[in-house]
Chain A
């Protein structure tokens, strides 16, 4: 049954190739069905693998190909079970570097594969409805299948280099899909922005790989962990972890590289749901969890990670309170939620990070799909100030969005409450200031999410009125077709109940126990009494409900509260302006200096100078050619005389 893991990435690859070859001929609905079916096949294969992996005893759940360097067998977690040979082929063999395209199957990657394939399947299905009538319908599914394949490569890779291949693959697909409607200037430039921000992070990934290879002589995860003592000393491990974290900040949209994610909302909404909420942006957190044995060596680097996660969560949550565009609001919410995950990673509670990641994939995917349903029903309107009162017209979207809203606001007993509670409890056990920041962020989270909810679904039906800038009123909105409703319902179910996989008072069969082969035992919660944990949970719930009440008072009927939407927050704390001032403007000035001075003067000057020199020299030398034979003959005679004189002088 474990061999089904080979099929997991192969299904989307086959779907990608088939759609690329004959997709255009298959046309509109069929191409979408093939794309969905390939991901569904992948999901089924993942389920089979999960059944196989869960059937193994707890000590032998880390499966990898037998490492050719001979180091893998001795790795800490491998437990000598490296028999099944989950390797496709050997990719690179140069000197001491052996890179296999191989699969590392353990509870962590299995968890990722399950929710990646599951959510992808639902969003592919949804896309058939959402992208209906688009002129590039087929191309959309080509990109989507390529994305799922890359994401699975990233997750399942057994070494850093293959992970990097998947890492770049998802980045590329993200670029394609953000600028999918490339005929809009904003979409084209948003794609470029996303790509460039990610490239900055990728440099960190590459440098970390170089460093790790130079110190340990291998890139395979388990071998690196087995040889991690070579990294200690000289700051190598701090540098490696922080460089990998730089890559994670790029991919997972954390400070200082988070600005690309809101702009990435220019892509079609299913893309925002799949790539920029549920799966790709959590890849950075996954990477950090994957290298947790390295993180455990450097408390210093972990403090940096925790601080950046906490601050990002807070900053993004405040910004989300002032957005008008529903998708941008949700994008900042994503940044904030990933900030929580990074905070959890930084405090060493990896299980909490993965728990939040899984539940977040469900409810944030649902929020985006619900927003997509609203946008679809309102003829591509994204401004929440022009929505309102949609409850009566879109009952399915309303109810499912309600579930996701309560989940992300961490209202018990929805899934977000358990996941966020897990994170906050672990942070509390570790550091009080970051816990306070996290709790404040939880308040803002519940507040901005409620604001979005009330503005969209309750209050006056503002879409009946013409827009302030003169656009005509919208037609009566319509509910989405069933291919879009079905994923909403499934995701709503999981948004409500996904918390059950890791309830705090259950200790058998939980996510915590399942991930123990990867992360070891939990460290911090053990130090808290049961009463303390209950008190923290009550605090979470009280904060969430209080924020809900505040938002209900403020935004239930009114849409216009400029005091609560200051320009400072609408303009993203002036982060973009800051980058523009510090990097953009000097860069432009430098480029202009190069264009005007270096290019026009130095390079063109050199070229033109050589031309002028040749021409003026030629003009002088031309005089010599008089056309009179006697002149030439005289020249010959003088030359002859000179040669003779020279030879005679040599002789005598």
Chain B
């Protein structure tokens, strides 16, 4: 039994759903971050899959962009998280609602 592209896509969908649910239900900022990374990589996985299926290098090169952006995002995001840690003990997202309208 060979492992076809559908399996990869299914895995990507599962990973994406896990990430999405994690972002929605968890309150710890670090965990939410990891969940976002999970969603990004799920998307990367589907990119690579389609690239392979269609024989198009575009999908794989797009993955590099996503990785670079994700790295930059992590740097900024972790910077913010560290800044928050300095001001308060925990990292619960719901405590940070000063921007309420």
Contacts and interface: CB of A to CB of B under 8 A. Distances in A.
A and B: real partners?
yes
Interface in A603-639: 621-630, 633-634, 637
A625 B94 contact: no
Contacts of B96: 627, 629
A625 B20 contact: no
B20 to A, nearest CB: 6
Interface size class of B (residues with CB under 8 A): 10 to 19
Contacts of A625: 99-101
Interface in B51-101: 93-94, 96-101
B23 A626 contact: no
Interface of B: 20, 23-24, 27, 32, 93-94, 96-101
Given A628-B93, A628-B94, A629-B93, A634 B24 contact: yes
A153 B32 CA distance: 89
Contacts of A626: 97, 100-101
Contact of B98 (A624, A627, A637): A627
Nearest to B23: A633
28 contacts: A621-B101, A622-B101, A623-B101, A624-B101, A625-B99, A625-B100, A625-B101, A626-B97, A626-B100, A627-B96, A627-B97, A627-B98, A627-B100, A627-B101, A628-B93, A628-B97, A629-B32, A629-B93, A629-B94, A629-B96, A630-B24, A630-B27, A630-B93, A630-B94, A633-B23, A633-B24, A634-B24, A637-B24
A126 to B, nearest CB: 80
Nearest to B99: A627
Given A627-B100, A629-B93, A630-B93, 10 more contacts: A621-B101, A622-B101, A623-B101, A625-B99, A625-B101, A626-B101, A627-B99, A627-B101, A628-B94, A630-B24
Interface of A: 621-630, 633-634, 637
B39 to A, nearest CB: 11
B34 to A, nearest CB: 15
A628 B92 CA distance: 11
A629 B20 CA distance: 13
- Which of B96, B98, B100 counts the most chain A CB atoms within 10 A? B100
Contacts of B20: 637
Contacts of A621: 101
A265 to B, nearest CB: 71
A623 to B, nearest CB: 7
B32 to A, nearest CB: 8
Contacts of B94: 628-630
Top 4 nearest A-B pairs (CB, nearest first) are A627-B97, A625-B101, A627-B100, A622-B101
Contacts of B32: 629
Contacts of A623: 101
A627 B98 CA distance: 6
A146 to B, nearest CB: 66
